[in-house]
Structure 1
Amino acid sequence: MTKTRVKAPFKADHVGSFLRTEPIKTARKAFANGEIDRDALKVVEDQEIEKLVQKQIEVGLKSITDGEFRRSWWHLDFLAGLQGVEFFEGQYVSAFKGEKTRNNAIKVVGKVDFDQHYMIEHFQFLKEAVEKYGDGSQVAKFSIPSPNMLFTRIQGDEYYNGNREQFYEDTVAAYRKAIQAFYDAGCRYLQLDDTSWIDFVSEERIQAVVEKEGMDVQEIIKKRVSCINEVIADKPNDLLVTMHICRGNFKSTYITSGGYDQISDAIFAELNVDGLFLEYDDQRSGDFEPLKNFKRPDLTVVLGLITSKFAELENPENIKARINEASQFIPLENLALSPQCGFASTEEGNLLTEEDQWNKITHVISIANSVWSAI
């Protein structure tokens, strides 16, 4: 039987994380203090995720996530669930403008591999909730950090001792297993979140990564492209894989600024993903000129023109004008709209209310319906 491909990214889409609700915050604090056990915490998480699924469906979203309600970090939780990787208390290296994160980090203590990752169960619960409350037009979307995040975010390597090639090969193999496991669990819309690309948005960061890696900048970019492409090389045809790029998202702050100029060939022409979610909510992301390197008619570029950092709603006509400007480089049918990032990349969340959050989502849907209704 021929399998139907998910029609996503949708014209109105989103990155995935949502502000943690008060019951989630209370339960997680009680668990951390030893006042409830993990089973009791899961009961609250399950209830709140079901409510979140219903809310997303109610406002009109088609890609439905669990809001990352069970996570503390958008990336470290998944990476620490891989074999050979562990959490530890260390200085977290991402320097956000004006805010300091918690001192959680990851290190490699053994051969990197994938086996019975606990987030498979997280996805299965989400899928069942979407099937329970949806009408068949929605799809369960799950986000995991890109494999590039393991290379760029570890703060200790007690196993590979500088053997980069073996580290690379093992990570690719682990991720290929992961993608197949999510597919076998019913996932048809998987997003790879990858902030490693901010290494190439400014001369300061390019110089730092070249010194760290001891390689030419184009070699580093090529390696990060090949990592993604190798991981998804044998993915099933009906599994849609997208990639999200941003410049940091913690308590409404950011890490760096700069455009896509240095990586435009890589992401628009060489990456084999089905869609790209790009941060474009303010001047820090540069202009649309890099979009000229778009060469793939099967690629959807999701413009993150709506900010998830602040409550004020963007002028719809300004957003439509920016979409029109981007369409001078990429056909309108290959474009879509979303917030530039999630609302809570970590459990602390951005500095806006849940009402503000849903106003942003309905704003995205309203503008997208207006722009693409005739397509």
Structure 2
Amino acid sequence: MTNSIVQTKFPYRYDVVGSLLRTQTLKDAHAKFKAGQITAAELQQVQHNETRKIVAKQVDLGLKDITDGEFNRSWWHLDFLWGLTGVDKYDYHKSYKFHGSKTRTDNAELSGKVAFNPDHPFFESFQFLQSITPDGITPKQTIPSPTMLFRDNRSDNWPKFYDTWDQYLADVAKAYHETILHFYELGARYIQLDDTTWAFLISKLHETADDPDAHAKYIKLAEDSVKVINQLLEDLPADLTVTTHICRGNFKSTFLFSGGYDGIADYLGQLNYNGLFLEYDSERAGDFTPLDRIWNGDKNKRIVLGLITSKAPKLEDKDAVINRINQASAKVPLENLALSTQCGFASTEEGNKLTEQEQWAKLKLVRDIAEEVWNVD
């Protein structure tokens, strides 16, 4: 991967995962739009105004890279997938299996061969974000990993459009590669691919340990995921940083998956990303034992420790977090570590169960700890 040989700046020592709580003004505008009381153009104007506010807030906090809070979407993943050529929206008629909460039943399905869409609405959204980002700050674009097309029945009808599964995977990788290149052409230099597939595999590989046939199915998913991700990352520009966030599910402060990284560490270690954001805010994530295998000795790669939860308002103890960073440095050198919240604050428009003020306090704590540990400003 071309860009891994020069990347050092990002992920920054204190980084933001992506989504932020939707403001009440934005929520009210969405309700009015659904009721037919305002137009799409009026809704977009509200979205732009509210995005300006949260960009300014991130800058005031001293963040070196900022996001649009994902204010342009309802779901962290589906809105992007629906924008690809060959992917359509449909009603799954099932809620995603979060612990203690039910989601809406939206989903995506193949409607043709998957391809890059030059008119994808996320391009316009990025251009707006870039236009309001001050000099010296990097606008970070988040999109779902291509592996999100492989799950939850989204690829069930691939034989309608492809002769082989490998042909389908090749098209997915190509569509993503071209999409990322277009973001780059528009000025993007920092892109993050969010991914729940690896946490899904943690659970499934453990559950099927005594069932060889079922286990082989999930091993194949892991291998296919590595292949597609590394293929889309090939020959990207040297000054483009691409990272991933390994998510365990995030909906109204609930979660989908539990378990340590041991079973997937070697696969994560094969991924040619510049950095990996790992959730480590609770015992559900296991300990730091697999970190060295995930990092895999790449001195140009950063592991971002998600030690500050985005699911609950209580602030973590600063010294306890610093102690955990020091523990992790026994597996990965401190210079290859960074800090973030464990996830975003609103992977869907509903958002987690804390206030905007509590959200900003969490991000300030991330910054304050990082400044002390790495002596950055």
TM-score, normalised relative to structure 1: 0.93
C-alpha offsets along residues 266-300 of structure 1, whole Å, 9 cap, x if unaligned? 213x1100000000000000000001313211110
With 89-98 and 336-345 compared, the bigger mean Cα shift is at 89-98
Match of 1:198 in 2: 199
Q: CA deviation at 1:246?
A: 1.6
Matched, 1:245 2:246: yes
Q: Is the CA contact (8 Å cut-off) linking 2:96 and 2:105 kept in structure 1?
A: no
Aligned residue identity for 1:273: Y
Match of 1:182 in 2: 183
Match of 2:127 in 1: 124
Q: Is the CA contact (8 Å cut-off) linking 1:6 and 1:238 kept in structure 2?
A: no
CA distance in 1, matches of 2:41, 2:376: 48
Match of 1:32 in 2: 34
Structure 1 unaligned blocks of 5 or more: none
CA distance in 2, matches of 1:173, 1:203: 28
CA distance in 1, matches of 2:50, 2:203: 40
CA distance in 1, matches of 2:337, 2:49: 35
Q: CA deviation at 1:94?
A: 2.7
Q: CA deviation at 1:156?
A: 6.0
Aligned residue identity for 1:201: I
CA 1:68–1:90: 2 relative to 1, 3 Å: same
CA 1:297–1:97: 2 relative to 1, 3 Å: same
- Residue of structure 2 aligned with 1:67, choices 62, 66, 69: 69
Aligned residue identity for 1:140: P
Q: Is the CA contact (8 Å cut-off) linking 1:6 and 1:239 kept in structure 2?
A: no
Paired residue secondary structure (1:289): coil
CA 1:8–1:156: 2 relative to 1, 3 Å: closer
Matches within 5 A, 1:46-61: 46-61=48-63
Match of 2:110 in 1: 108
Matched, 1:368 2:370: yes
Q: CA deviation at 1:234?
A: 1.5
CA distance in 1, matches of 2:8, 2:45: 30
Q: Is the CA contact (8 Å cut-off) linking 1:206 and 1:217 kept in structure 2?
A: no
CA distance in 1, matches of 2:342, 2:351: 14
- Residue of structure 2 aligned with 1:343, choices 342, 345, 355: 345
Matched, 1:303 2:302: no
Aligned residue identity for 1:196: T
Q: Is the CA contact (8 Å cut-off) linking 2:305 and 2:338 kept in structure 1?
A: yes
CA distance in 2, matches of 1:52, 1:154: 35
CA distance in 1, matches of 2:237, 2:140: 16
Q: Is the CA contact (8 Å cut-off) linking 1:56 and 1:64 kept in structure 2?
A: yes
Paired residue secondary structure (2:208): helix
CA distance in 2, matches of 1:78, 1:211: 35
C-alpha offsets along residues 86-125 of structure 1, whole Å, 9 cap, x if unaligned? 1112234530000000011111111111122110010010
Structure 2 unaligned blocks of 5 or more: 1-5
Match of 1:44 in 2: 46
Matches within 5 A, 1:174-323: 174-202=175-203, 207=208, 215-268=216-269, 270-293=270-293, 294=295, 295-323=297-325
CA 1:82–1:240: 2 relative to 1, 3 Å: same
Paired residue secondary structure (2:252): coil
Query: What is the aligned-residue RMSD (CA, Å)?
Result: 2.0
Q: Is the CA contact (8 Å cut-off) linking 1:96 and 1:254 kept in structure 2?
A: yes
Match of 1:21 in 2: 23
Aligned residue identity for 1:138: I
C-alpha offsets along residues 314-357 of structure 1, whole Å, 9 cap, x if unaligned? 00010000000000000000000000000000000000000000
Aligned residues: 366
CA distance in 2, matches of 1:188, 1:371: 26
TM-score, normalised relative to structure 2: 0.92
Q: Is the CA contact (8 Å cut-off) linking 2:306 and 2:342 kept in structure 1?
A: yes
Match of 2:166 in 1: 165
CA distance in 1, matches of 2:326, 2:246: 21
CA distance in 1, matches of 2:219, 2:153: 22
CA 1:205–1:42: 2 relative to 1, 3 Å: farther
Q: Is the CA contact (8 Å cut-off) linking 1:189 and 1:241 kept in structure 2?
A: yes
CA distance in 2, matches of 1:276, 1:5: 13
CA 1:284–1:340: 2 relative to 1, 3 Å: same
